[in-house]
Amino acid sequence: MAEKEYRQYRFQRPPGATEILLVRHGESRPVSSDTPFPLVDGHGDPELGVAGREQAVYVGERLRHLPIAAVYVTKLRRTQETAAPLCKHLGIEPIIEPNLHEVHLGDWEGGLFRIKAAENDPLYIRLKQEQRWDVIPGAEPNDAFHERIQRGLNNIAANHPDQLVVAVVHGGVIGQILSQATGARPLAFVYSDNGSISHIVIHNGMIMVRRFNDVSHLQEAMSKGPDMPP
């Protein structure tokens, strides 16, 4: 009698689990001191730039053939504009999840954060060293950010057991989720690329990470883009 053989395990979504493809929104338009972003509830709300609209198209083409049950966005239009091509392919309307908007940057909202980061402002350096958003005056503390992101994920998981969904969100949000899932430093995963796809599975309140910063659908577009700020 032949001895029983055991192959290496190939991951399958556990019964009752929810798969979420976390898409970072496309590149938003440039900012300058003369052209700050408009605010929505105190959050900077720029539209997509030319590159960002192109990235949104690539995301839609990449995901259009998957069995996606729902597409979630935030109240900020860069996520809604990124989701639009995919939603058009799928023939569905996006759902706003109010807990998944970007971390609030306090006095550095309206695009000032981007300027300070590009200039390597001393406070920005301290933020990276201490791994805390609220180094910025008036910014959201890590604990508060964590709690609301968890609420948003719990809402999606409760609504979509045994389903695949897309959530078009923000770099800080993706960073928070993967940091939480892996026990990494709070800002270890905040540098996902615009238009990238990360993949998590939520089961019984636990987050499993399947993929981070997949940009295979963006290679041509990325070759034309600017370098990431420090």
pTM of the model: 0.93
Give tens-digit pLDDT for 55-64.
Answer: 999 999 999 9
Give tens-digit pLDDT for 164-209.
Answer: 999 999 999 999 999 999 999 999 999 999 999 999 999 999 999 9
Copy the structure tokens of residue 50.
Answer: 């030319």
Q: How many domains does the chain have?
A: 1
Residue 14 counted as domain residue? no
- Alpha-carbon Rg for the chain in angstroms: 18
What band does 229 get if pLDDT is binned at 50, 70 and 90? very low
Residue 217 counted as domain residue? no
| Mean pLDDT, rounded, of the chain | 95
Residue 180 counted as domain residue? yes
Q: For residue 153, which of 167, 170, 172, 132 has the smallest C-alpha distance?
A: 167
Residue 12 counted as domain residue? no
Give tens-digit pLDDT for 35-93.
Answer: 999 999 999 999 999 999 999 999 999 999 999 999 999 999 999 999 999 999 999 99
Residue 115 counted as domain residue? yes
What is the C-alpha end-to-end distance of the chain, expressed in Å? Answer: 62
Residue 49 counted as domain residue? yes
Domain limits for position 117: 21-212
The CATH number linked to 191 is 3.40.50.1240
